[in-house]
A and B are shown apart, each in its own frame.
Chain A
Amino acid sequence: MVKEIERAGLPIVHICTVVPISKTVGANRIVPAIAIPHPLGDPNIDADEEFKLREKIVQTALNALTTEVSEQTVFDVK
């Protein structure tokens, strides 16, 4: 689906846990997620901390969308 959206001309970033799958399939902008059942969350921390964590991941994804890439690039959440 990521490739079709890219093919339509829209820059897209893939937030996913199993990065090797996204790479094999061919996503160009990839952001690693936390875990399979909760890619943008962590049930083990309190809600406020979790929201901040989610913000960091989304911010990384937005940064990826504003970054020029010439090959598949993984943007690590710092």
Chain B
Amino acid sequence: MSLRVVHYINQFYGGIGGEEKADVKPELREGAVGPGLAINGALGDKGEIVATVICGDSYFGENIEEAKAEVLEMVKSQNPDLFIAGPAFNAGRYGVAAGTITEAVQNELNIPAVTGMYEENPGADMFKKSVYIVSTRDSAAGMRDAVKKMVPLALKIANKEEIGSPEEEGYLERGIRKNIFLEEDGGHRAVEMMVAKIKGEEFKTEYPMPTFDRVDANPPIKDLTTATIALATSGGIVPKGNPDHIESSSASKYGAYDITGVDDLTSEGYETAHGGYDPTYANDEPDRVLPVDVLRKMEKEGKIGKLYDTFFTTVGNGTAVASSKAFAEEYAAKMKEDGVDAVIMTST
């Protein structure tokens, strides 16, 4: 019996357009579109994509409740046996949309559902505990690999078969604990692991320690009128011409630019290097991403003590978490050294 499958993709994979079309509302199309064709191929005679829902990444991200409801209605109308979203790879908004809709289809429509994305996609952290997210590579170069893992898992879920471990099935750890019996008792296994560790041999922990990465909020500023405020952004605002060649995606560096005497960022002097959102509005008026004009006015009016003379910028589009951490660690130290009291970070 061939399963009826509905597939969710974004405006880019739907062939509608790139960033300039990221605001398109959800659309329902018959059959498979874009990567759906590869998924259909992998499904073979076990299933078929009967309909595809396409939605703009920015529309979803800016209207989560409405978009979710609209898409759910479209999915429901097709009466599917199985729902697949993505794969979203490292596209942040797409991953968040795919995760949101997969969770909703699974929990509200009770339809088996699966999605796929790169482990650093913000959607992964948000949804890996509630839905099956296949771990993919960080770009569409990994499409074949993603489909190869997503389809078999999707079929297992749809057919209510037992799902194996994350390693076996290729999905991101869900934090589910499963009790099993092992031949050797804990004492033996612990000693063996210790011996391997001492010998410098390879060993595998049975329980990876979770990363509790939360930082407590710093105390508030007491007096804005004497405070030095610094600006930073992940929106990629750079001097016109991008002199330091910050990459439009997967940035390998950040920029530090002097704004002494600059009252206002203009399209003649500045632009955005970010390749992950429609740059038109930021290029026309860079203050829309980095509000130098407002802060400079507030400085002149005495509302804030001083606008720090340097702003720090990078492109947040698919940039590795480890890289962003390193950039911020470095420039935060400089800010502190120079007497900055507080920071405003803007993101697109």
Q: Which residue of A lies closest to B218 (CB)?
A: A11
B141 within 8 A of A: no
Shortest CB distance B138–A (Å): 17
A58 x B282 contact (CB < 8 A): no
A1-B346 in contact given A35-B58, A36-B62, A40-B291 (Cβ < 8 Å): no
B178 within 8 A of A: no
B96 x A21 contact (CB < 8 A): yes
Q: Most B CB atoms within 10 A — which of A1, A2, A12, A15?
A: A1
Shortest CB distance A68–B (Å): 5
Contact of B280 among A17, A37, A65, A66 (CB under 8 A): A37
Interface residues on A, range: 35 or more
B293 x A54 contact (CB < 8 A): yes
B332 x A5 contact (CB < 8 A): yes
**Which residues in A have their C-beta under 8 angstroms from that of B74?**
none
**Which residues in B have their C-beta under 8 angstroms from that of A24?**
122, 125-126
Shortest CB distance A63–B (Å): 9
- Using an 8 Å CB-CB cutoff, how does the interface string of B324-348 with A read, 1 for contact, 0 for none? 1101110011011000111111111
A68-B343 in contact given A1-B327, A4-B332, A40-B287 (Cβ < 8 Å): no
- Using an 8 Å CB-CB cutoff, how does the interface string of B35-73 with A read, 1 for contact, 0 for none? 000000000000000000000001001101000000000
**Chain B, 274-306, CB within 8 A of any chain A CB:** 277-282, 284-285, 287-289, 291, 293-295, 297-298, 303-304
A5 x B58 contact (CB < 8 A): no
**Which residues in B have their C-beta under 8 angstroms from that of A3?**
213-215, 325, 328
**Which residues in B have their C-beta under 8 angstroms from that of A9?**
218, 336
B93 within 8 A of A: yes
B176 within 8 A of A: no
B344 x A12 contact (CB < 8 A): yes
B336 x A8 contact (CB < 8 A): yes
Shortest CB distance B319–A (Å): 10
A15 x B346 contact (CB < 8 A): yes
B220 x A67 contact (CB < 8 A): yes
B221 within 8 A of A: yes
Shortest CB distance A41–B (Å): 3
Shortest CB distance A67–B (Å): 5
A10 and B228 CA atoms in complex are apart in Å by 11
A10 x B336 contact (CB < 8 A): yes
Shortest CB distance B285–A (Å): 6
B294 x A54 contact (CB < 8 A): yes
A17-B219 in contact given A10-B340, A36-B93 (Cβ < 8 Å): no
A10-B329 in contact given A28-B217, A58-B291 (Cβ < 8 Å): no
A8 and B340 CA atoms in complex are apart in Å by 11
Choose, from B144-152, B162-170, B199-207, B229-237, the stretch at the interface: B229-237
**Chain A, 31-45, CB within 8 A of any chain B CB:** 33, 35-41, 43
A7 within 8 A of B: yes
Of the A-B pairs whose beta carbons lie under 8 Å apart in the complex, a sample of 8, sorted by A's number, is A3-B215, A5-B345, A13-B344, A18-B96, A39-B288, A39-B348, A55-B297, A67-B220
Q: Hey, which bits of chain A sit against chain B, CB under 8 A?
A: 1-18, 20-22, 24-26, 28-29, 33, 35-41, 43, 50-51, 54-55, 57-58, 61-62, 65-70
Apart from A5-B345, A35-B62, A65-B224, what 8 extra A-B contacts exist at CB < 8 Å?
A4-B332, A8-B329, A8-B336, A21-B92, A33-B347, A37-B277, A43-B284, A68-B219
